[in-house]
Structure 1
């Protein structure tokens, strides 16, 4: 039986392990750098095409208990105009729901499921992978503590600073930074609107994103409201040492003082957050290859992208399914090459489209034409113009509607 090692127990690595197990692979080991997996982080979205993967793994019921089924994404101007409502529900024709969920809760769900299905020893924490040595037949995984482990296949899923990627691409340049800082928090609020809508308001320079992430609280008539304030700043700030847990040090409130939303007070929501962290909007240029012999990449290690279009975690989940299917057909180097051939071109397009704003391009279209609260969207932008943006992104990212 082919042995497979995965460097990184993030959403992508854990999903890959479950998909591989579903295809009959049993000799799977995951090595995670942190000493303990905890449900940390803030909100993310799992798109319909990726939640379908999780449903097929038998996780639909568990997701419905903790995550909010997102009804739609509303794009708004800073004056509160509704530019576009982009439905994301099963009722809108998708094969599975879009979920808004706490990132740590999703990771912990996947972590516990891996331990249940593959065994408690399938994941080894506190074991940072620093590199590898390979021959035609085997890969030796190298660890920070000096240990090593022999395997048939190594999957680098260690995120933005994956050591496996660094070894495959030793001359890669610095992280790409487009000038925007993201400030993140989660605030206890009353239910906003229908309690199932994601709102994205503003423009490319000043943008506010918010959505509820707790189904348990929604059923109690409350909301855990995740929010992201994006602000373009003058110069790069702590890019190479960017840390998701860094406390906010920049004035992120002032740019939103004049935002006018009928159903929420944006500044009040931000002020009420118990903690706020900051992180630069960064990615990397698509690389020419992921695979070398018996080693390949997955998730953010393969295609780190701007968090636009809510696609980072979703593309990692899709990677896991594609990898498992390719290795089930050929559990060797040809399988890894087939996986890369399927996924690398797709994710490269998503990375580049996200740099152009992805589906959020409608914000800038509206911002250029709507100059005040009394303007009417329908007089300035056609519905077809907006739908073309949304449809193009759905096609590139891979979550087309099946029926309407």
Structure 2
């Protein structure tokens, strides 16, 4: 079967690996960029995604790239603890949560594709048009050497928030809507904080800081730390995710955020590079699959990073798509089943991220105690805090008991 995957990001590469593991051949990946350079900063792979990578035989390879956090802690802008919960293996999952560098993960998946499928990734291919026939799909690309046309049995659009396939299907959609928030993301070496295995989020709906280690502490007690600084009403809605900015103005926004356990402005100042990202997403679509084409990852459901779920959902898309293609009798029925499995779930998750997902605890603390509190339970009850965390896990598909008991998505076509 000829399968064309548009985009060699995490979702597209995971799709190629998943389809190969399900017994498909004829897989090709077409990437718009001239080179796959492994750009970006840190991301979190949640246990439901790590399960899928493990079942693809990549668990140890990916785990070696970063750190498995044992807890997630929320604080207000004064550094007062709101809520802490265990994560990964410490929370009873059979698989860890992993904090890794996005670019390093992409390169690791690219290498796995090369090892298992061979030289199937073509760079410098910008999709310009897809035309469906009854039994095949024609995809046309612009390249440096002129137009290229290929024919496939299936075309998968895994080409990100600016997906060309999505734009062709929904030409009136327009640019991604901006939330009014701007993120500044970077990595820096700095003193390990708390126990060295905790992901922290501090602040509220107007201003927030996220940090988590990407390496174990060295002999001097320092680690490679990923951070995200966020502020409302500052920056630009232009979606250029590789725009570098100076550290000093960002650090100045957080000048007062010097906690006993973390010096926020000092960490920002220590960054090698800071990239500015407008917080944008995409509205949920009424349909991903049409005939022999479908969408995957950010092309299908770009969402705010509240809850650390973007890359994880793309990996689950990839595995679900391969499972349905391996177990359904026809390509159209498989793509329709994939759509029915994933589209409603991600639409609900997208809606949750627009309501800040599990980070709602920080908004409530700010709303109910803007100047801080003596004890969080004077402000938000323990049951309310626990239910906010649990409800997001249910919506995102990584409730511990449900995930541990769910049947595998591994399948091989007959």
Instruction: Please give the range of the TM-score, normalised by the shorter of the 2 chains.
Output: over 0.9
Q: Would the aligned equivalents of 1:49 and 1:95 in 2 still touch at CA under 8 Å?
A: no
Aligned residues: 398
Q: How does 1:78-93 map to 2 (within 5 A)?
A: 78-93=77-92
For residues 32-51 of structure 1, what are the structure 2 equivalents within 5 Å? Answer: 32-51=31-50
Residue in 2 aligned with 1:244?
241
The correspondence of residues 298-317 of structure 1 with structure 2, limited to 5 A, is: 298-317=296-315
Contact residue 46 and residue 88 of structure 2 kept, 8 A: no
Matches within 5 A, 1:251-270: 251-270=249-268
Structure 1, gaps ≥5 residues long? none
1:245-394 correspondence runs (5 A): 245-248=242-245, 251-330=249-328, 331-372=330-371, 375-394=374-393
Residues 36, 125 of structure 1: 8 Å contact kept: yes
Q: Could you tell me which residue of structure 1 aligns to residue 223 of structure 2?
A: 223
The equivalent residue for 2:411 is: none
**2: CA distance, partners of 1:369 / 1:335:** 48
1:71 aligns to 2:48 (yes or no): no
Instruction: Work out whether 1:150 is the aligned partner of 2:147.
Output: no
CA distance in 1 between counterparts of 2:373 and 2:5 reads 55
Separation in 1, partners of 2:45, 2:278: 21
Q: Which whole-Å CA distance do the structure 1 matches of 2:215 and 2:128 have between them?
A: 36
**Superposition deviation, residue 238 in structure 1:** 4.1
**Are the aligned partners of 2:99 and 2:212 in contact in 1 as well (CA < 8 Å)?**
yes
Aligned-partner SS, 2:74: strand
CA offset at residue 53 of structure 1?
A: 0.4
Q: Does the Cα contact within 8 Å between 1:191 and 1:218 map onto a contact in 2?
A: no
Confirm whether residue 190 of structure 1 aligns to residue 191 of structure 2: yes
- State how far apart, in whole Å, the 2-side matches of 1:12 and 1:95 are: 23
Moved more, 278-287 or 221-230: 221-230
Question: Please, which moves more after superposition, 64-73 or 291-300?
Answer: 64-73
| SS of 1:86 mapped into structure 2 | strand
User: What TM-score do you get using the length of structure 2 for normalisation?
Assistant: 0.92
SS at match of 2:323: helix
Deviation, 1:373, is 5.1
Structure-1 residue corresponding to 2:166: 165
TM-score by length of 1: 0.95
Residues 158 and 297, structure 2, Cα contact 8 Å, conserved in 1? yes
